[in-house]
Amino acid sequence: MTAPRPPALRTHDVVIYTDGGCRGNPGPGGWAFLAINPATGSALERCGGERDTTNNRMELMGAIMALRSLRKDGLKVLLHSDSQYVVKAASEWIPSWKARGWRRKEGALKNIDLLKDLDALGARFQVSWQWVRGHAGNPGNERVDALTNQAMDAIRAGGDPVFEKRVSWTL
C-alpha cells in the first residue's frame, strides 16, 4: 500500500526543486532542477552551467530551466528554492520592478534578462514559490545541490556540465 501524499502536494501537478551555485563570484557556476510528477513519482533531473557567471544568475537559471521543461501551460507548480533572492524576486519584487521599468528604487537592476524570462515563464503556470533551507536534509534540495556541484566539477575539469536523467522520486 502506498502512503498518501501530504495535503500540500495533492494540489500541485508538478513539484520542483532548484539550485544554483558558483565557485568564486564570478566564476564557474552550475544550476540544477528536479521536477516531480507527484501523481506518478516520475521525475526529471537536469543540470548545466557556465564558465564565468554569478551565484544569483545560476540560482535564477535553475528555476528558469525547470519551468522551461514543462510542456503544458496552466500547470499548478510548487517550486522550492534555497535562494531567497529567487523566491522573493518571483513572488514579491518583480511587479514593482516592472512598474518602474525594470529598475529598483535605488537604481539599476542586475540580471534583467533572466528576471524577465522568469516573469514570462511564471505567467504561463500557477506557481507557488517556496523557500527551503539549504543543506538541511531536505532530499529534493540535497539532490539539486549535488547536481549543481556535479555541473561545476565538470566545468572545472574542462568537460560538459549538461546532465539529464529520468528517475523515480517519492515525495
CATH code, domain with 132: 3.30.420.10
Rounded-to-integer distance, Cα 7 and Cα 114, Å = 32
Q: What is the model's pLDDT at position 171?
A: 86
Contacts (Cβ under 8 Å, ≥6 apart) of 76: 11, 12, 13, 14, 125, 126, 128
pTM of the entire structure? 0.93
158 in any annotated domain: yes
2 in any annotated domain: no
Active site residue 73: no
Please pick, among 101, 106, 135, 158, the residue that the annotation labels catalytic.
135
22 in any annotated domain: yes
Active site residue 113: no
Please pick, among 50, 59, 122, 140, the residue that the annotation labels catalytic.
59
Strand pairing category for 14-22 and 42-53: unpaired
Question: Lowest-pLDDT range, 24-33, 73-82, 104-113?
Answer: 104-113
121 in any annotated domain: yes
47 in any annotated domain: yes
Count Cβ atoms within 10 A of the Cβ of residue 94 and give its class: 0-12 exposed, 13-18 middle, 19 or more buried: middle
Please pick, among 12, 20, 49, 140, the residue that the annotation labels catalytic.
20
Question: Based on the structure, what is the number of domains in the chain?
Answer: 1
Tens of pLDDT, residues 2-59: 444 454 556 899 999 999 999 999 999 999 999 999 999 999 999 999 999 999 999 9
Active site residue 153: no
68 in any annotated domain: yes
Average pLDDT over residues 136-143: 94
148 in any annotated domain: yes
Active site residue 101: no
Tens of pLDDT, residues 113-122: 999 999 999 9
52 in any annotated domain: yes
Maximum C-alpha span of the chain: 56
Please pick, among 19, 48, 80, 122, the residue that the annotation labels catalytic.
19
Please give the residue range of the domain that contains residue 45.
Answer: 7-168
Please pick, among 21, 29, 82, 140, the residue that the annotation labels catalytic.
82
Of all helices (H) and strands (E), which one includes residue 66?
Answer: helix 55-68
% residues pLDDT > 90 (the chain): 87
**Dihedral pair phi/psi, residue 4, rounded to 5°:** -65, 150
Statement: residue 100 has pLDDT above 60:
yes
